[in-house]
């Protein structure tokens, strides 16, 4: 894939990130570390683990979260409350992630992807962008999530 296709050139520095099963921190490429953090977000969501979800987010007033169909929530308090409410709803969700595309630039990263949701109320695709900032210890913290339900129409093709 060319640099033009992937956006700005990825930061070539290696950073420390937790690798599941490794039992310790190890050096990984920044894009890999961001993808790992992004995937932990979905693992926490599927397991409805508020502690794991809280560990992923920056606890500040600058965080933003737009769940599909919701108004944009601003600040960690509102975002945390939204996950508490969602996790208490009793609806079990499974995420099948496709079209994951990480981008890392100086001081920020984002992952654009499709969340293909499977649940007890059917399935839906959500076009999503998750935003991350360095946490100061070699990892990444979420500062933004935006999801929008993809409406299929007869004139749209694959």
The values of phi and psi at residue 108, to 5°, are -160, 165
CA distance 28 to 32: 6
> Can you give the pLDDT at residue 37?
97
> Can you give the pLDDT at residue 27?
56
Three-class DSSP category at 43: helix
CATH topology of domain 3-149: Nuclear Transport Factor 2; Chain: A, (3.10.450)
> Can you give the pLDDT at residue 11?
36
The values of phi and psi at residue 47, to 5°, are -85, 0
> Can you give the pLDDT at residue 154?
54
CA distance 40 to 154: 35
Average pLDDT over residues 89-111: 93
The first and second tokens of residue 118, run together, are: 């499977």
Domain ranges of the chain: 3-149
CA distance 90 to 82: 14
| Tens-place pLDDT, residues 21-77 | 444 444 569 999 999 999 999 999 999 999 999 999 999 999 999 999 999 999 999
Half-sphere exposure of 9 (CA within 13 A, CB side): 3
Is the pLDDT assigned to residue 152 strictly greater than 80?
A: no
């Amino acid at each position: 894939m060319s640099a033009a296709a992937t956006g700005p050139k990825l930061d070539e520095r290696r950073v420390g990130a937790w690798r599941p099963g490794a039992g310790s921190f190890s050096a990984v490429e920044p894009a890999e570390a961001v993808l790992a953090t992004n995937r932990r977000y979905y693992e926490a969501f599927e397991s409805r683990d508020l502690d794991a979800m809280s560990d992923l987010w920056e606890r500040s007033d600058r965080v933003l979260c737009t769940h599909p169909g919701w108004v944009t929530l601003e600040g960690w308090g509102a975002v945390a409350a939204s996950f508490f409410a969602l996790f208490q709803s009793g609806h079990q969700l499974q995420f099948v992630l496709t079209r994951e595309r990480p981008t890392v630039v100086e001081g920020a990263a984002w992952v654009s992807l499709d969340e293909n949701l499977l649940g007890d109320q059917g399935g839906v695709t959500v076009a999503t962008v998750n935003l991350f900032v360095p946490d100061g210890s070699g990892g990444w913290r979420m500062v933004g999530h935006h999801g929008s339900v993809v409406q299929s129409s007869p004139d749209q093709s694959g």
